[in-house]
Amino acid sequence: MICLGIESTAHTFSCAVIEKKGRHGKILSDVRKIYRPPEGEGIHPREASRHHAEHSSQVLSECLEKAHMKIADLDMISYAAGPGLGPCLRIGAVVARSLASYYDIPVYPVNHALGHIELGKMLTGARDPLVLLVSGGHTMILAFLGKKWRVFGETLDITLGQLLDQIGRHAGFASPCGQKIEDLASKSSNYEPLPYVVKGNDVSFSGLFSATKQIMSKGLETACFSLQETAFSMIGETVERALSFTGKKEFLIVGGVAANKRLSEILKSICKRHNCKFYVSPKEYAGDCGSQISWVGLLESSKKSGVKLENTFVRQSWRIDSVEVPY
Ligand code: AMP
Ligand code: MG
């Protein structure tokens, strides 16, 4: 089976082609174009969707060319139907519907968070992991049970990616700022106390965000180091509790923030204590990309047929724990 996956939930417009043989998937191409807001500003949904509309045909042709495919060679198309920004989601859905109807190809709406997890599992070989999904749109700890991904902790306000991006923007950098914060943090070991908020097994980052802005006068490197140590320790505590509770023997980090080395270092040592195998999504595929969407489409196609065009949809807040997983 050959599937074209289309991702457009937020800053990234991406198309990818994966060929699935048995349980194995081969990524034939994955092309992305990322919307960059002006320095100091966050994603403007209308501007991002305009960016996606303008670049969609170029990304699609480049993706097919790299995969040595024509549209008629595709067995199916999947698109990220949510969660995400409404105007951005609609661009991906329109591209998917147009191709599906003109070329008469089955179409699959796919949950974006599921894409992060399933591609992470496929690329690392993890089979039944406790998952930490940390990105611009998510901060969740999840485990699979009874046909659904169940949430064992999440953020009560902003996500870890938003926390890092908003602090970076406050310092005047252009979003996304996670890598910049990591680089600055690695130059300090001077910890300034910041609010550490874990409630039950959920985390809250809004107080940490306000307090970090206030200690920026003590130096950006110190502020970034203290921010990372506090936020990542909160995540570490909740991951450790979820590991003890679920007894999982594998742990996987997915999402754009998975690229952070300090976060991996902290979580790796927790896994070691629990005799648990540690996996992290490869950096190239940790952030949003079409391969995530293509792979979930392929997994679903083994158990169900595509949806009728009139039943295709986008859903801005489509929680992963409401999705029944058929495969
Ligand atoms: P995604 O929404 O999955 O594409 O992930 C994007 C998020 O990942 C943004 O908030 C980035 O700032 C964040 N990110 C990317 N690289 C790093 C890094 N090295 N450390 C921390 N966060 C990162
Ligand atoms: Mg994402």
Q: How confident is the model at residue 114 (pLDDT cuts 50, 70, 90)?
A: very high
Q: What percent of the chain has pLDDT over 70?
A: 100
Q: How confident is the model at residue 187 (pLDDT cuts 50, 70, 90)?
A: very high
Q: What would the mean pLDDT of 83-88 be, rounded to a whole number?
A: 98
Mutation to probe ligand 1, out of 131, 133, 134, 135 (largest number of atoms < 8 A from CB): 135
- Ligand 1: centre distance to CA 268 (Å): 19
Range name among 76-90, 91-105, 166-180 with the lowest pLDDT average? 166-180
pLDDT of residue 175: 86
Upstream peptide bond of 37 is cis (omega within 30 degrees of 0):
no
Q: What would the mean pLDDT of 188-214 be, rounded to a whole number?
A: 98
Does residue 287 line the site of ligand 1, with CB under 6 A? Answer: yes
Does residue 166 line the site of ligand 1, with CB under 6 A? Answer: no
pLDDT of residue 129: 98
Domain ranges of the chain: 2-116+287-322, 125-285
Structure tokens at 123: 């690329």
Q: CB neighbours (10 Å) of residue 270?
A: 17
Contact between 17 and 105 under an 8 Å Cβ cutoff? The reply is: no
- Across 135-197, the runs of DSSP E, i.e. the strands, are 139-145, 148-154
Does residue 135 line the site of ligand 1, with CB under 6 A? Answer: yes
Residue range 2-116+287-322 forms a domain whose CATH class is: alpha beta
pLDDT of residue 267: 98
The closest of 210, 203, 106, 123 to 157, measured between CA atoms, is: 203
Classify domain 125-285 at the CATH topology level.
Nucleotidyltransferase; domain 5 (3.30.420)
pLDDT at 39 over 90: no
Angle at alpha carbon of residue 315, lines to 77 and 287, rounded to 5°: 65
Does residue 100 line the site of ligand 1, with CB under 6 A? Answer: no
Whole-angstrom CA distances from 104 to 71, 73, 115, 233 are 10, 12, 24, 50
Q: What would the mean pLDDT of 5-33 be, rounded to a whole number?
A: 97
Is 0.75 topped by the overall pTM? yes
Does residue 259 line the site of ligand 1, with CB under 6 A? Answer: yes
pLDDT at 174 over 90: no
- Ligand 2: centre distance to CA 183 (Å): 22
pLDDT at 222 over 90: yes
**Minimum-distance ligand 1 atom for the alpha carbon of 12:** 4
Give tens-digit pLDDT for 50-83. 999 999 999 999 999 999 999 999 999 999 999 9
- Ligand 2: centre distance to CA 116 (Å): 7
Q: What would the mean pLDDT of 216-238 be, rounded to a whole number?
A: 97
- Ligand 1: centre distance to CA 98 (Å): 31
pLDDT of residue 213: 98
pLDDT at 1 over 90: yes
- Ligand 1: centre distance to CA 10 (Å): 13
pLDDT of residue 42: 86
